[in-house]
Amino acid sequence: MPGPLSPDAAKALAHSAGEVAMLDVREHGQYGEGHPFLAVPCPFSRLELVAPALVPRLDVPILLVDDGDGIAQRSAAALGRLGYADVSWIEGGARAWQASGYTLFQGVNLPSKTLGELLEERWHVPQIDGDTLERWQRDGRPHHLFDGRPASEFAKMTIPGARSMPNGELPHRFAALVRDGTTPVVVHCAGRTRSLVGAAGLALAGIANPIYALENGTQGWTLSGRALRHGQSAPPLARLDEAAFAASAARAANALERHAIPRIDRAELLRLVEDRTRTLYLLDVRSAEEHRRETLADAVHAPAVQLVQATDQWIGVRRARVVLLDDTGLRGALTAIFLRALGYETHVLRIADAGDLSQAVPGLGVRQPEPSSVPQIDAGAAVALALEGAPLIDLRSSADYRSAHLEAAIWSIRPRLTDAVGPATGALMLIGDAGTVALAASDLTAAGLTDLYRVAGDVADWRRAALPLVSTPDQPSDGEAIDYLFFVHDRHDGNLEAARRYLAWEKGLVARLDEAEAAEYRIGPSPFPPQAA
């Protein structure tokens, strides 16, 4: 029944056989400092904007997590206004969960990160360390080194000699990148997960070359005293000629058959959509360029590399159905194998089998709420009113506020907004994107405040207008900045101790799972030959 649940009842619901969405409605910093293993971040500050994509079926059971501070009840009411019919919350929130003997996990993307660790443990993914890689480079030993992260992360920092090739794209484009079946291939990321998943993906694709993950990625490289390369521009993804495309398609057919992943067409997609008892996600796992060029109407772009790494950014319902859109089917097949290991029912739909791409699939589109219109006010006029005492509330991220904000603006966030405003009368001005301001305005209107305005422009506009900007590196304080996760946040910026803590955290995830959490995984036999184990 909707309403409060004891931690024991909530635990049973989270691990039940049917679909369920466990949404943590606290802000990002609160969530990242400790949450139930299966909880998906859905912060109250943007709840109505995020929830429809995460939970597209209105009658799926939803279980909310907060700090026992009433935000879950407020979230339940907001979700009810969107049409969700079965919303419960943990009585007492995350603290009660922990007090009942259940673990709160730090960090983000826990199920995906743990998948990487389980692959290492059960599949014995071959790895090499930084010493070995450097020796190969020094001795001129032939090898291929690929950075399996998105190009934006490659540009921030990478291992010297690495080529940017995100996971999923690497096996798909392998025939255009590697011309023989004997040269070793090494995959790295910033830590562990995408190195392990990337190497496993190559093995699942049937790549014959010796395959290795680089142990501990760029963080391990830095901890060994070696320098990274920064500011590298990733070249365009390798183009596939007819032979390379055929090679990808052949590998896809083998992977789909070997792992019994259903390949469907438009007619089957329509049948799945018509099943109103199940939640369905249609995700395009190809590159951003391919998705922009052509895709099936209502397909959401979720590149393979990030969908496996951060599944909970796209999929909010446990045990849901997922259809993956692809061209040859290989990126979809490999992603499907990993998602199935995470407990999802997976299908692959090739572009060639999708029918008329311009035709929307009835019943598939995500409902997006219409944000209420908040009248705008010029930033200069807003500052003038604020200096006379009118409240000027900055709803942007705490990090953006610390970096630069309008003079006289105070920072706040939706869960604490009414306390920040207090018994204000007269005009009240809000800074932020249209969606965030609209949600805040709806709460303030319900509290009896109706003279509300959204401040026009952004920092760049305000600078051009020569408006006074203030930087406050310590305000809001770390304790107040509940939207920011400080958990080893500078591990990529030279803080070696943060990097050590992060790697230890990743390696320790499996040991912290309880029996029910471990049972959520469906990991099949290893694709690596026994001699590589």
In a domain, 466, yes or no: yes
Sheet architecture: strand order including 428-431 = 376-377, 452-455, 428-431, 392-394, 410-411
- Would you say residue 483 lies in a domain? no
Examine the fold and report which residue of 79, 108, 137 is the final residue of a domain before the chain moves on. 108
The predicted pLDDT at position 425 comes to: 65
Q: Are residues 102 and 118 in the same domain?
A: no
Task: Tell me: do 191 and 139 sit in the same domain.
Answer: yes
- The total of structural domains in the chain comes to 4
Please check whether residue 344 lies inside any domain of the structure: yes
Q: Are residues 96 and 125 in the same domain?
A: no
pLDDT tens, residue by residue, 124-164: 999 999 999 999 999 999 999 999 999 999 999 999 999 99
Q: How far is CA 468 from the centre of its chain?
A: 36
| Residue-wise pLDDT tens digits, 467-504 | 999 999 999 999 999 999 998 888 888 889 999 999 99
| CA pair distance 299, 383, nearest whole angstrom | 43
Considering the domain architecture, whether residues 120 and 210 belong to the same structural domain is answered as yes
Distance of CA 213 to CAs 172, 191, 301, Å? Answer: 18, 11, 27
End-to-end CA distance of the chain: 49
In a domain, 500, yes or no: no
The total of other beta-carbon atoms located within 10 Å of residue 516's CB is 14
What value does the mean pLDDT take over residues 108-119? 98
As a whole number of angstroms, the distance between CA 8 and CA 455 comes to 46
What would the mean pLDDT of 400-411 be, rounded to a whole number?
96
**Alpha helices in 42-87, H assignment, sequence order:** 47-54, 71-82
In a domain, 33, yes or no: yes
Give yes or no: residues 131 and 233 share one domain.
Answer: yes
Is residue 489 in some structural domain? no
Distance CA 393, CA 203 (A): 52
Same domain? For 136 and 224 the reply is: yes
The angle formed by the CA atoms of residues 521, 505 and 232, to the nearest 5 degrees, is 100
Mark whether 65 and 134 lie in a shared domain: no
Which regions of 308-407 does DSSP assign to beta strands (E)?
321-326, 345-350, 376-377, 392-394, 405-406
Residues 273 and 232 in one domain: no
Asked if the structure places residue 366 within a domain, the reply is no
Task: Decide if 288 contacts 303 (C-beta within 8 A).
Answer: yes
Residue 532 pLDDT exceeds 50: no
The 10 Å Cβ neighbour count of residue 199 is: 31
| Single-letter code of the amino acid located at 308 | V
Question: Residue 533: is its pLDDT beyond 70?
Answer: no
CA distance readout (Å), 448 to 373, 409, 445 = 17, 22, 5
Whole-number percent of the chain with pLDDT over 70? 99
User: 405-406 and 469-470 as β-strands: parallel, antiparallel, unpaired?
Assistant: antiparallel
Domain ends where: 43, 78, 108?
108
Split at pLDDT 50, 70, 90, the class of 343 is very high
Same domain, 58 and 138: no
Q: What is the dihedral of CA 509, 515, 516, 519, to 10 degrees?
A: 80
Range of 24's domain?
3-108
Shared domain check, 129 and 19: no
One domain, residues 59 and 124: no
Which residue, of 62, 88, 108, is where some domain finishes? 108
Output DSSP code: residue 532.
Answer: G
pLDDT digits (tens, 9 = 90+) for 70-87: 999 999 999 999 999 999
Sequence letter at residue 456: A
Helix (H) or strand (E) holding 163: strand 163-164
Give 250-279 pLDDT, tens digit per residue. Answer: 999 999 999 999 999 999 999 999 999 999
- Please tell me whether residues 269 and 294 are part of one structural domain: yes
Query: Does 374 have pLDDT greater than 70?
Result: yes
Rounded CA gap, 351 and 296, in Å?
8
In a domain, 272, yes or no: yes
For residue 365, the number of C-alpha atoms closer than 13 Å in the C-beta half-sphere is 8
Residue 301 CB coordination number (10 Å): 18
Domain with residue 194: its CATH number is 3.40.250.10
Residue with tokens 């739909």: 349
